[in-house]
Chains A and B, each alone.
Chain A
Amino acid sequence: MTTEAADKGAPRVSPLYDPKVRGIAYQVVLALIILFVVYEATTNAIENLRAAKIASGFGFWSVEAGFDINQKLIPFSSTGGSTYGDAFLVGLLNTLLVAFIGIILATILGFVIGIARLSNNWIIAKLSMVYVEVIRNTPLLLQLLFWYNAVLKPLPDPRNSLSLFGAIFLNNRGVVMPSPVPGPNFDWTWIASLVAIAIWIGLSYFARKQQAATGKRFPANLIGFGLFIILPLIAYWAAGSPLSFEYPKQSRFNLTGGMQIYPEFVALLVGLTIYTAGFIAENVRAGILAVSKGQSEAAHALGLSNGQTLRLIVVPQAMRVIIPPLTSQYLNLTKNSSLAVAIGYPDLVQVFTGTVLNQTGQAVEVIAITMLVYLTISLTTSFFMNIYNSRMALVER
C-alpha cells in the first residue's frame, strides 16, 4: 500500500485536506466575518445617529466652543471665539505637559529608589522595598484621588494660605509662585546658555578624540558644566540684571498676581510620578542585577574606582536591559495621564472625550480622534526607542 503511494509520487489528497486550500478558506471566512461586522456596525451607527439627530463628520472642529478651561498653554476662552479644535489642542498640550514633566521626575525618583533597593544599607534597602510594594500594589486611581481629595483639598483656603518665605503660597486652589518677568535684554542670557551648551558638546567631542588618540583625559564635563553656569550669569550681569519677579499679593479673598499651578495638575503629576517611579525602580533593579558580578570585579581588578565602575561598566550594560521596559513605563505614564478625568485636570480625555463629546454628541469622531492621538504617541515613542535600542544592542560583542 505504502509502496504504491510512493510510486505515484506525491500522494493525491482531497482539496479538503490541502493545507494551502484550508489556509485560504480560513482567511476568506475571517475576512467575511470582519466585513460583516464592520458593515453591520456602520449601518447601525448611521441609522442610530440619524434617529438621534446627531450630526456626523468633522464639522464640529471649527464650531465655537462655549466653555472655559482653567489651565491652558495656548489662549483659549469661551468668549474669544475659541473652537472645539482649539479645545482639542489645549487638552493635547496639557496631556503632553504632564506626561513630559512626569516622565522626567519619575525617571529620577525611579532610579534613586531602584538603586537604593540594592543598597548595602539594610534600612535604606528595606524602606525602598516597602515603597515599591505599597505603590505597585494599590490602584493608581486610588492614589490620585488620595492626593487630590485627601491631601490637596483639605489645605486652607486662599485667605489663609500656607506661605513659604512669603513668596510661595500653598492653598486649596493650588500653588501660587512668583512669576518671572524677563526684562528687555533678558534674551542674552538664553543665548549665553545655548553658546555654553554648544561649547560643552564641542569639548566632549574633542575630549573623546583626544582620549582615543593619546589616552589623556580632558575634564570636558567639568569645564562644560562650569561654563554652563558662568556664561549665562555673566550675560545676565552684563545686560544689567534684567529679570524681575512678580510676587503674589494677598487681596481680600484671593491671591492676585504670580504664577498659579492648579491643584489638579499637582495631584496628577505627584500621583503619576510616584506610581510610575515604583515600576521604574523595579526595572532599574532588574537591569543592574542583570549585569554579572564578574563585570564589576573585573573593573575593580583593572583599578577603576567604585564610581568609575558604576559609570563606565555597570550602567552602560544595565541600560541595555533597562531601556525596553523603561520605554513601556513612559508609555504607561502617558496613557495613565488620561486618569486626569477623575480629578478634573483638563487633559485630552477630560476636555475632548468629556466636555466636547457631551456638547457635540459626536461620539464616534471624538473617540476615534482621541484614540488616534494616543496611538500616534505610542507608536512614535516605540519607534524612536527601538532605534535607540538597536544602537545600544549593537555595542554587544
Chain B
Amino acid sequence: MTIGDNVTPMDASGAYLGSGDLPQRKPPVTSRGLVAWVRDNLFSSIPNTIMTLLGFWILWEITPPILDFLIFDAVWEGSGRDACLESVRNAPVGACWAFVKVRLGYFFYGQYPIDERWRVDTVWAMGAIGVVWLLWPRVPYKNWGSLYFFLIFPVVAFFLLVGTPAFNLQKVPTNLWGGVLVTLVISTVGIVFSLPLGVLLALGRRSKLPLVRLFSVIFIEFVRGVPLITVLFMANVMLPLFLPDGWRPDSLIRVLVGIALFASAYMAEIVRGGLQAIGRGQYEGAQSLGLGYWQMMVLIILPQALKIVIPNIVNTFIGLFKDTTLVSIVGIFDFLKTIEASFVDPRWATPVTRATGYAFAAIFYFIFCWGMSQYSQWMERKLATGHKR
C-alpha cells in the first residue's frame, strides 16, 4: 500500500524501482530485557498467547500437587503406619518418606547380612573408581582402566560379593542379594560382557567368512526381534533344561546370561555403526603397514570406532539399566522388586505407601539415567569437534 504509492513501473520487463523514500518505521518498543523476551517468547501473537496461557494452566494444575506430595505434605519422621495415616495425623498426607527411611537398607542391599554390607560398599567404591577412570576423558592410562574395569574389578567383586573361605569371607548366597545391589550387578555384568561380545558379533557381521557372518546376523536379528522378557523366560526355564543333569545354575546367573546375550546383540549393532563410520583409508593404511586382521582391528580400527560410539554405548547402557527392572518378573529381587515387596508389609500399609515407593523408585532411576544421558550428550558435543561433516 505505502510501497505502491511511490513505486513506478520502469520498463516492459516488469521491473519496479522506487521513486521516493519509504516512510520511517517506528522503532521497536524494546528488544532487550525481560519485557522484550516475554513479548518474543510468550506473547508474540494471539495463538502464541493462547499456548502460553495453556502452558501456565498445565503448570498450575500439575506443579502444586506434586510439590505438596513430595515435600510440603510429606511425612519425614515416623516408625509405623500411624505416622502416615490421614485419620491419625488430621492433616493431608503426602509421601511417606519415613517408610523409605526405615526400608532404605533393604532397598539398597536386599537381605544381604548387615555385618557383611561393607563388602557391597567396597565393590561400589571400586566400581565407581573404574567408571570415573574410563568415562572421564582427563584421567590418563585408559588401557589400564579398561583392564581394571573389565578384568580385575569383576573378579574381585565376584569374590567379595559371593564370599570365599580363602579370605575368611562368609559365603552369601545370591537369593539374599537384592535391591540396588542386584540392579547394579545385573547392569554392570550386562555391560562388561556385552561390550566384548558385541564387538565380536559386529566384527563377525562384517567378516568375509560366510559362515561367521551368517551366524552373527542370525544371532543379532533373532535377539533384537524378540522382547527381553521372553529371553529372560528362556534363560530362566530353558537354560536348566539344556545343561547336563548336575548343573543347576542359580537363578541370578541364569538371568545374567540372558541379559548379557540380549545386550550384546544391541551392542553389536552400535559397534557395527562405529566400524562403518571409519574410512576405508584406515583399513588400507593398516594393511599396507603389514598388520594382520586382529592387529589391524585392535590397534587401528576399534579404538577409533569405539570412541565414536561412546555416546551410543552410554545410551544403550541407559536402556539396559531401565530394562533390569524386568528381572523382577522372573523372581529376582532387584530394586523395583524390593520396593514392590515392601508394600505388603502391614506395619506400613497406608494409602500413600505405594505412591511413595514408586516416587522413590522414579527419582532413583531418573537421577541415574538422566545423569548418564547428560554425560552422553556432553561426550557427543566433545567428540563432535573435528568429526563433524
Chain A residues at the B interface, C-beta cutoff of 8 Å: 23, 26-27, 30-31, 34, 40-41, 44-45, 47-49, 51, 119-124, 127, 133-134, 136-142, 145-146, 149-150, 154, 335-336, 338-339, 341-342, 349, 353, 357, 363-364, 367, 370-371, 374-375, 378-379
Contacts and interface: CB of A to CB of B under 8 A. Distances in A.
A48 B325 contact: no
B358 A146 contact: yes
A349 to B, nearest CB: 6
Nearest to A52: B241
Contact of B51 (A27, A49, A124, A335): A124
B366 A134 contact: yes
Interface stretch (B11-19, B82-90, B112-120, B206-214): B206-214
Interface stretch (B132-140, B190-198, B220-228): B220-228
Interface string B257-270: 00000000000000
A124 B210 CA distance: 53
A137 B366 contact: yes
B162 interface: no
A370 B230 contact: yes
B154 interface: no
A286 B18 CA distance: 44
Contacts of B229: 338-339, 341, 349
A137 B369 contact: yes
B362 A123 contact: no
Given A338-B229, A341-B329, 18 more contacts: A26-B212, A27-B211, A44-B244, A44-B245, A47-B245, A120-B41, A124-B54, A137-B370, A139-B322, A140-B322, A141-B329, A149-B358, A349-B227, A353-B230, A371-B234, A375-B226, A378-B226, A379-B221
Contact of B42 (A123, A139, A364): A123
A47 B242 CA distance: 9
Contacts of A49: 241
23 contacts: A23-B209, A26-B212, A40-B244, A44-B243, A44-B245, A45-B241, A47-B245, A122-B42, A123-B52, A123-B59, A138-B322, A140-B325, A141-B326, A142-B365, A145-B340, A146-B358, A149-B358, A150-B355, A154-B351, A349-B230, A367-B238, A371-B230, A378-B224
Contacts of B221: 379
Interface residues of B, number: 56
Contacts of A364: 238, 241
- The A interface is mostly helix, strand or loop, or mixed, namely helix
A323 to B, nearest CB: 18
Interface string B51-90: 1101110110000000000000000000000000000000
Interface of B: 41-42, 44, 48, 51-52, 54-56, 58-59, 208-212, 215, 221-222, 224-230, 233-234, 237-238, 240-245, 318, 322-323, 325-326, 328-329, 336, 340, 351, 354-355, 358, 361-362, 365-366, 369-370, 373
Contacts, number: 149
Nearest to A361: B237
Nearest to B243: A44
A141 B230 contact: no
Nearest to B366: A137
B354 A138 contact: no
B51 A30 contact: no
A135 to B, nearest CB: 10
Nearest to B56: A123
Contacts of A123: 42, 51-52, 55-56, 59
A374 B241 contact: no
A48 B245 CA distance: 7
Nearest to B239: A41
B48 A120 contact: yes
Contact of A48 (B54, B208, B222, B240): B240
A342 B329 contact: yes
Contacts of A127: 55, 58-59
* Most A-side CB within 10 Å, residue of B229, B240, B243: B229
A139 B336 contact: yes
In order of increasing CB-CB distance, the 3 nearest A-B pairs are A123-B55, A378-B225, A137-B369
Contacts of B365: 137-139, 142
Contact of A141 (B225, B245, B328, B373): B328
A40 B322 CA distance: 34
Contact of B225 (A27, A149, A375): A375
A367 B59 contact: no
A91 B56 CA distance: 43
